[in-house]
Structure 1
Amino acid sequence: MKARTGFLGPRGTWTEEAAMSFSDSLELIPYSNICNIVDDVDSGRLTYGVIPVENSIGGGVVDTLDCLANSRDALIISEKIMNINHVLMSSGELEQIEVVISHQNAIAQCRKTIANRLPAARVDFSSSTAEAGRIASTDSSVGVVGSRRIAELYDLRIQSERMSDLKDNYTRFVMIGKEFSGRTGKDRTSICVTLKKNEYASLWRFLGIFAALKINLSRIESRPDPVSPGEYKFFFDMFGHRDDMEVSIALNAIKTYCSTVSILGSYPREEWPRA
């Protein structure tokens, strides 16, 4: 039986394409909200979920970070890095477009190009790139940036190619489940921590542990802690698996400077393409 796997839908999103690339033995179920996917993996209603975590232009996907930080059991178990080639599409003529809508991350990746090619058009957000396609299918004044598959699904005309502001536009998608992936020797570990309050240089001391153990931190990001105004949660990605000796030592040592430490997953690492 195929494993029930939620993805950020509706059908036609880049996340669906990422989900299909993980395995052909998944029962793919579209969701309109990232947190609902995480919650349903937590509860067991889904075996897996596929969600975007960061883009090489727009940065981190805040809904994914916040929902994973608040999850009880969901863990990152795998990742895919995909080239994102947005196109502009609509149901009418190019000259009819008055507003360009898409998911906020797609808009962030195409903002300059939209302004150059459609200087009079407004920009607005939708819950997903595919939802924007559905809206455009019934309104010729709406343009959409997204994948070619959206044009096929909603019978839209491709008005302009290569809408991304930068030629090299990549998104990292993760698959989440409830069991840690095994060590492969080429892994990534993701954690979320809150530092102890009012301790001088705690972040500097925290980072020094990884420097001393020669562990490469490949990503650092912070998000406000909603239950503690003025405080922040820090997200770190590092090379290595939680079962590697150096990583295990580091994860124990950082507890000295943290009030909470959550391991979001240890999983096989894909390399970002190099220009």
Structure 2
Amino acid sequence: MRIGVLGPRGSYSEMAASRRFPDAELVYFDDIEDVFDAVESHKADAGVVPLENSLEGSVALTLDLLLSRSLFICGEVVIPIRHCLLGRGDPDSVRIILSHPQALAQCRQYIRRRYPGVEMRTTGSTSHAARLAQEFPEMAAIANLEAAKTYGLRVLDRDIQDSKNNMTRFVVLSREMSKRTGNDKTSIVVYLEKDRPGALFAILREFAVRNINLTRIESRPSRKELGDYYFFIDLEGHVEDDAVREALDGIEKAANMVRVLGSYPKDNTPSE
């Protein structure tokens, strides 16, 4: 089995994929969109991409691609994120810090406190930052311990994220919907007409009257005009469950568009 992940080697996406598919062949890509492309074109059997972080929220690109592509979410993997500062030199020689924008944001307070005025540069992934940090001793990368081993870097500091409870949820992409397990979650996206009073309440009521728990709801601009949004909703249950099916039927009567992004087994990893 071939699993597409955000690379290069040593990324958190690799860590999530290895946990979910310990015996699979991992195929590394430079960008999240490339992972979607690989699954759609059958270059990979599935893909693992980041969806949301407990400190910095959702990965906007992943949401946009879930909306615009034909793939399903068929699983999720939640892993703790433990950032380290990696480099060739010593801590006092750091002049440039490299990492993925989400990682830089997750370590914002640490950087301001320990390295005020340092130049920050964004990269496609944390492991890409680690690979680049091999070049000059004044460069340092925010990445994980595995990246330090992979790229022969020193660990200049550990656990530098702004909260110990730093978790990232990754989703597994597939060309097919997952079967019901009895311990499932469903992700949908809903589009409502702008300025229609009570429209969102009508949607949420369909879940409330059936005692369906919503685990996440988030708006995302439609890019049509200011104030026009899609709503991404996660709920407990599978589309094959009677209550979920009934709720979706009710929503379809009230919304302009409803799309099921996937029903899949929940990852019950506890928060740390």
TM-score range, shorter chain: over 0.9
CA contact (8 A) 1:187 1:268 kept: yes
In 2, Cα distance between the equivalents of 1:211 and 1:79?
24
CA contact (8 A) 2:3 2:47 kept: yes
> Deviations along 1:104-159, whole A, 9 cap, x unmatched?
11112111112112223222211110111111100222111110111111111111
Give the CA deviation at 1:274: 4.1
Map of 2:56 onto structure 1: 58
CA contact (8 A) 1:81 1:171 kept: yes
Summarize the alignment of residues 1-275 of structure 1 with structure 2, pairs less than 5 Å apart.
3-72=1-70, 74-226=71-223, 228-230=224-226, 231-274=228-271
In 2, Cα distance between the equivalents of 1:61 and 1:136?
24
Which AA in structure 1 matches 2:77? K
Give the CA deviation at 1:218: 0.4
Match of 2:256, SS state, is strand
In 2, Cα distance between the equivalents of 1:146 and 1:225?
33
Which AA in structure 1 matches 2:28? P
Match of 2:147, SS state, is helix
In 2, Cα distance between the equivalents of 1:196 and 1:272?
37
Change beyond 3 A, Cα 1:107–1:201: same
CA contact (8 A) 1:133 1:144 kept: yes
> Deviations along 1:240-272, whole A, 9 cap, x unmatched?
111111111111111122211111110011235
In 1, Cα distance between the equivalents of 2:117 and 2:194?
48
Which AA in structure 2 matches 1:229? E
Match of 1:101, SS state, is strand
In 1, Cα distance between the equivalents of 2:67 and 2:143?
28
CA contact (8 A) 1:99 1:121 kept: yes
Percent identical pairs in the alignment equals 38
Match of 2:182, SS state, is coil
Gaps of 5+ in 2: none
Match of 1:160, SS state, is strand
Give the CA deviation at 1:77: 0.8
Off by >4 Å, runs of 4+ in structure 1:
none
> Deviations along 1:21-67, whole A, 9 cap, x unmatched?
11233221101111121122123222100111111111111111111
Match of 2:69, SS state, is coil
Q: Which moved more, 1:265-274 or 1:162-171?
A: 265-274
Give the CA RMSD over aligned residues. Answer: 1.3
Which AA in structure 1 matches 2:118? A
Aligned length in residues: 271
TM-score of the superposed pair, with normalisation by structure 1: 0.95
CA contact (8 A) 2:10 2:150 kept: yes
In 2, Cα distance between the equivalents of 1:162 and 1:25?
29
